Amino acid sequence: MKIRVKFSKHGVLKFIGHLDVMRYFQKAIRRAGIDIAYSAGFSPHQIMSFAAPLGVGFESNGEYMDIEVNSLTSSKEFIDALNAQMVDGIQILEARLLPDNAGNAMASVAAAKYTIAFRDGYFPSFLSGQTVASFYAQPEIIVTKKTKKSESTFDMKPYIFECSYNEASASISMTVDASSSGNIKPSLVIKALYEMNHAELDEFGLLITREETYTNVGTEEAVQLKPLGFVGSDYS
């Protein structure tokens, strides 16, 4: 049985890297008595995969991992048992039974939604609903993307699905491509916004929260984004 687990990650745990989070869940699942399936071979390991590793320093309300179990009583009992083993900062939000033909979490990722707030003293003076709307209304957003091995210039606009400013929380909301072929970092979008307004970005001033991770249930031409848990169902 394949289970898609949704969880949140907040507080000091935002400084814990992906591999440590994976090891943490392996231990927590054993302590919770979850009947997880193991791989075959000389070195069996829990069958577990994560959707999209979260950057160090990011918080999240929409992380996902897939696991395989030999048995399951109910989604609620699974959530309660695992939450009883969680430390402050991580909470299990959903456990959905996947159909047999469902793709794994990592391969299913199409986009992610983020909220970008600002540390005290780092709020940019130019930022407003109008400046964000003008930024997103551009026909092209040309940026330079650097990796360890290369540097490339491309139009980022097709990879941004929405971008807006929230006056009440003084924050920016955006949904961007998070697939293996696109994978736009929210800081790259913010940097382009700053450059358009002739300002220099200090990434230390950003407080980034991933709100949700999406799969595309439409087509490449007509994208229809749904949360990764959309493909599963509660089990009771």
Domain that holds residue 40: 2-106
C-alpha count within 13 angstroms, C-beta hemisphere, residue 202: 9
56 lies in some domain: yes
Lowest mean pLDDT among 63-72, 86-95, 213-222: 213-222
Answer yes or no: is 233 within a domain: no
pLDDT-derived band at 41, boundaries 50, 70, 90: confident
Nearest to 35 by CA among 68, 65, 9: 68
The confidence band for 146, taking pLDDT boundaries of 50, 70 and 90, is: confident
pLDDT for position 101: 86
Mean pLDDT of 31-40: 94
Which of 78, 106, 134 marks a domain boundary?
A: 106
| 178 vs 145, residue with greater confidence | 178
Complete DSSP assignment for the chain: -EEEEEEEE-GGGGGS-HHHHHHHHHHHHHHHT--B-B--SSS--B-EEESSPPPTT-EEEEEEEEEEBS--S-HHHHHHHHHTTPPTTEEEEEEEEPPTTPPPHHHH--EEEEEEEE-TT---TT-SHHHHHHHHT-S--EEEEE-SS-EEEEE-GGGEEEEEEETTTTEEEEEEE-SSS----HHHHHHHHHHHTT----GGGEEEEEEEEEEE-S-SSS--EEEGGGG-B---
Q: How many structural domains are present in the chain?
A: 2
pLDDT at 147 over 90: no
Q: Of 115, 182, 112, give the one whose Cα is nearest residue 143.
A: 182
- Report pLDDT for 222: 87
pLDDT (0 to 100) of residue 181: 82
pLDDT of residue 232: 85
**pLDDT of 100:** 85
pTM, to two decimals: 0.93
Together in a domain, 174 and 123: yes
Across residues 175-202, what is the average pLDDT? 94
Considering the domain architecture, whether residues 27 and 99 belong to the same structural domain is answered as yes
Q: Is residue 92 part of a domain?
A: yes
Tell me, yes or no, whether 60 and 130 share the same domain: no
Asked, for residue 236, whether it belongs to a domain, the answer is no
Q: Is the per-residue pLDDT at 104 higher than 90? A: no
With a pLDDT cut of 70, the percent of the chain lying above it is: 100
Amino acid at the residue 160: I
The domain spanning residue 78 has which CATH number? 3.30.70.580
Both 99 and 115 in a single domain? no
The answer on 204 and 131 residing in a single domain is yes
Residue 226 has pLDDT above 80, yes or no: yes
Report the alpha-carbon distance of residue 228 to residue 150 in Å, rounded: 31
The confidence score (pLDDT) of residue 86 equals 95
pLDDT at 144: 85
Q: Sorting pLDDT into bands at 50, 70 and 90, what band is 148?
A: confident
Domain match, 205 and 124 both? yes
The token duo for 26 is 């392996």
Same domain for 137 and 176, yes or no, is yes
pLDDT of residue 135: 97
Calpha distance 212→93 (Å, rounded): 12
